Structures are given as C-alpha cells and as structure tokens.
C-alpha cells in the first residue's frame, strides 16, 4: 500500500519472497548487472568482464551453492560441521566416475551432465544420511570432531584410490560443462568454448558464468523456500532449544538426519561444479582448509541467513584477489619516492634483505606471503565477527538499513 510499505493485509503478502518494492527493484537491478557483466557495458564495472574476474565470479557462484548447504546444517539446524570438504569431494568423484571418458585408463562411464550432476548430489546425500545416525547422537564440539574425521578419511581414500582420483599430487581431468542427450560426439550446448547466443558472440568463460549463476540462483531459491517451510522451522527450533523442540513434538533425530542429507546434497553439487569448472583437480583439494573456508563464509556472511551465505561467499572468494591487488599497489608505492614510500615500506618487503609485514617477491623472505596473509585475515575476521557482530555482513547490512529507515530519528 502506497506510503505504508510494511503494511500487509494477507499472509501471502507477508510471507512473499519479495515482500517490498525495494527488494523487487534491487533484485531486478542485480539480474541486469549479472546479465551484462561479461559484455563489459556497465560503467565502472567493465573490469568484471575480464577473464580472471569472470573466473572469480563463477567460483563465487559455485561456493554459494556449497555455503547454502552448510548454512542449512549449521546456521539453520545448529549442527556444527567441519566435514563439508569431504562431501564436496564425494560429489566431485561421483561426477567424474559417471561423466569421465569410458575409454581412458581411469574410471569413467561417459554419461552426460544431466546424469552426473544430480547423481553427485544424491550420492553425497546418501553418504551424509549413512553417517548421520552416528553424527547426530553427539553435539557441539564432539559433533565437530566427528565431522572433522570425515575429512581425513576422505583425504586418505581420495589420495590412494588412483583409478578414480588419478593419484596424489597428480589428479585427473573432470567432465567439462557440456550438455549432451547421451554420448554423442558433439554436445548440444558447450559451456566451455566461444560461440554465438541469440546473435551475440559469447566467450566460453561467459557461458560458464551464465550457467553457474543460474544454478546458484536455483539453489538460492530452494534454500530460501526451505527456510520458510515446516522443515525449516523445525530446523530452527532444534537450533534454538532442541530439548524443548522435542517435547513439542519435533522429531529431533529425523530432522537432524534430514539436515545432514540436504546439506550433503548441496555440497556434492558444489564439489562437482567446482571440479568441472577448474577441469583438473588433485585429491588434496578436498582438505580441511576448504572446510574452514566454508565455516568462514557462514560466520563472516551471517549464520542462518541466505543473504549471509551469498555475501560470505563473495567476500571469501574475492578477498585473496583484493589483498593481492592491494599488496601490489603497496609495492609500487614502496618502490617510489616520497612520504608514501616510507609508510609502504613498513608494510611490504620488496627485497630479501628488506623487512615488512608482507613480502612481495618470490621465495622465502621476511614477513608473510600473500597466501599466509589471507589465512591471518580469515582468522581475524572470524574472531572479530564472533565477538562484535555475530550476524556477520548481513548484520552490518541490517544496521545500515534500519538506520536509514529510522532517519532522522535514532530509535
């Protein structure tokens, strides 16, 4: 109603996904920007259409799918898990077993993407349900240790199952993002090579970007709707007070098991997409650090919120690039003259005999490498958000939104 944006006269209007005009407009603008990014036509955002940024944005879309799965388990159902990387690895190797070349030295059946991609999620979900009864009987720190064990079990299996993974530090090629009806020689749609769509020349990376964005949007819609259903409310009741929820008739064991299965399904799909997008992956890729990255995504973005999973994924994936670019800029300043050079030299080391917080040259030297600096930043951000803003980036957005809604009043 005009002038009364928060006045709802029906339950349907109150529960709508886009229940305000602002949300509808913002979503429309976002879709327009995403659709035009590869063509570099948006002023100020044309750099996002370069190949390296398209890879980062595509990786962000893949991470969104995995983060939404962990958000359902940890943020919504309150079950701490450090085993997300294991289920991503299960999805990836299910995909390569079904979609890999059948005439090669490694396991593969040569099946199309419409078989191996859903199967990656289903197999991961089945394994999640299989290990779920053991995991859901414990909680808190004990649950985290149980799921942590899955990562080390998966690491051992993936590294030693040479016929499937290609072997430790070697890996294998994963099936490309191509759509075939069955096993025909030429795919109907190839998302990896340049081509013409609707009369417009589109690069292979742009095709992959559109596909991955569409899949991420689909899983975002699924996660958002699941959160509003009876199942989502049951998850949240278990998270907030599991004993009280069980007394009120919520099947705690069943819903925890369901949360593990759904989360594993999302993780399997994400792992299969990540491996296919990267093309060649070694077994060590599915390690503990990958699980920690997803924990960081949930905590930094905002646990229990779909928007937080998206914001956290973008932040964690893009942070290393931003840190690297900023470090290179500091290096150029440090190599110059003037007051700025003296300040930059405190933070970066440009030669092996120099001293700085971060070294910007190849090899071992004083200070942290850029990769090590990223790890330190992850840790500091997790600690900082846990202490000062438990809702993460989503909480910061809520503060900004509520401030402008209440302006000029402060209450």
Contacts of 43 (CB under 8 A, 6+ apart): none
Q: For the range 49-53, what are the long-range contacts, defined as Cβ-Cβ under 8 Å and sequence gap of 24 or more?
A: 49/206, 51/203, 51/205, 52/321
- C-alpha to C-alpha distance for 181 and 110, rounded to whole angstroms: 12
pLDDT in tens, 348-372: 777 777 777 787 766 566 677 777 7
| Domain edges within the chain | 53-287
- In the chain, the percentage of residues whose pLDDT exceeds 90 is 49
Contacts of 248 (CB under 8 A, 6+ apart): 237
Print burial letters for 98-109: b (CB count within 10 Å at least 16), e (below 16): bbbeeeeebbbe
Measuring CA to CA, how many Å separate 343 from each of 157, 332, 349, 400?
Answer: 49, 12, 12, 33
User: How far apart, in Å, do the first and last CA atoms of the chain sit?
Assistant: 24
Contacts of 33 (CB under 8 A, 6+ apart): 42, 45
Print burial letters for 260-279: b (CB count within 10 Å at least 16), e (below 16): bbbbbbbbbbbbbbbbbbbe
**Cα 147 to the chain's mean position, in Å?**
19
- C-alpha to C-alpha distance for 171 and 7, rounded to whole angstroms: 57
- C-alpha to C-alpha distance for 300 and 55, rounded to whole angstroms: 22
DSSP bridge partners of 359? 349
pLDDT at 33: 92
Q: What's the whole-model pTM score?
A: 0.92
Measuring CA to CA, how many Å separate 142 from each of 82, 86, 148, 259?
Answer: 11, 18, 10, 18
- C-alpha to C-alpha distance for 15 and 409, rounded to whole angstroms: 28
Q: Which residues of the chain have pLDDT under 50?
A: 1
- C-alpha to C-alpha distance for 207 and 202, rounded to whole angstroms: 7
Query: Measured at the alpha carbon of residue 188, what is the angle toward residues 186 and 190, in degrees to the nearest 5?
Result: 80
pLDDT at 1: 46
Tokens 């920690």 correspond to 292
């Amino acid at each position: 109603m005009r002038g009364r944006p928060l006045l709802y006269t029906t339950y349907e209007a109150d529960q709508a996904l886009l229940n305000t005009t602002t949300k509808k407009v913002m979503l429309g603008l976002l879709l327009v920007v995403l659709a035009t990014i590869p063509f570099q036509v948006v002023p100020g955002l044309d750099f996002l259409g370069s190949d390296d940024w398209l890879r980062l944005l595509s990786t962000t879309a893949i991470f969104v799918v995995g983060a939404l799965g962990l958000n359902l388990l940890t943020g919504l159902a309150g079950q701490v898990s450090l085993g997300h990387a294991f289920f991503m690895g299960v999805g990836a190797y299910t995909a390569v077993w079904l979609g890999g070349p059948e005439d090669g030295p490694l396991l593969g059946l040569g099946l199309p993407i419409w078989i191996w991609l859903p199967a990656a999620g289903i197999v991961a979900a089945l394994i999640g349900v299989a290990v779920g009864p053991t995991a859901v009987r414990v909680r808190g720190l004990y649950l985290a240790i149980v799921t942590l064990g899955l990562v080390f079990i998966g690491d051992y299996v993936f590294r030693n199952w040479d016929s499937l993974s290609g072997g430790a530090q070697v890996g294998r090629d994963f099936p490309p993002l191509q759509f075939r009806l069955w096993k025909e020689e030429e795919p109907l749609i190839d998302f990896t090579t340049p081509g013409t769509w609707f009369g417009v020349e589109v690069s292979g990376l742009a095709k992959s970007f559109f596909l991955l964005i569409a899949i991420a949007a689909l899983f975002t819609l699924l996660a958002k709707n699941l959160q509003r259903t009876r199942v989502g409310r049951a998850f949240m009741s278990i998270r907030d007070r599991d004993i009280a929820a069980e007394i009120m008739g919520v099947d705690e064991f069943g819903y925890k098991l369901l949360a593990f299965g759904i989360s594993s399904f999302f993780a399997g799909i994400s792992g299969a997409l990540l491996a296919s997008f990267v093309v060649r992956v070694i077994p060590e890729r599915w390690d503990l650090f990958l699980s920690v990255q997803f924990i960081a995504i949930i905590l930094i973005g905002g646990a229990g919120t779909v928007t937080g999973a998206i914001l956290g994924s973008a932040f964690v994936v893009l942070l290393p690039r931003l840190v690297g670019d900023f470090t290179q800029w500091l290096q150029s300043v440090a190599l110059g003259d003037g007051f700025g050079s003296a300040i930059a030299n405190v933070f970066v080391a440009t030669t092996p005999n120099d001293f700085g917080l971060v070294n910007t040259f190849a090899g071992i030297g004083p200070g942290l490498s850029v990769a090590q600096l990223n790890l330190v930043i992850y840790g500091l951000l997790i600690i900082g958000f846990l202490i000062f803003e438990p809702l993460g980036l989503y909480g910061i957005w809520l503060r900004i939104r509520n401030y402008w809604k209440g302006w000029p009043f402060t209450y």
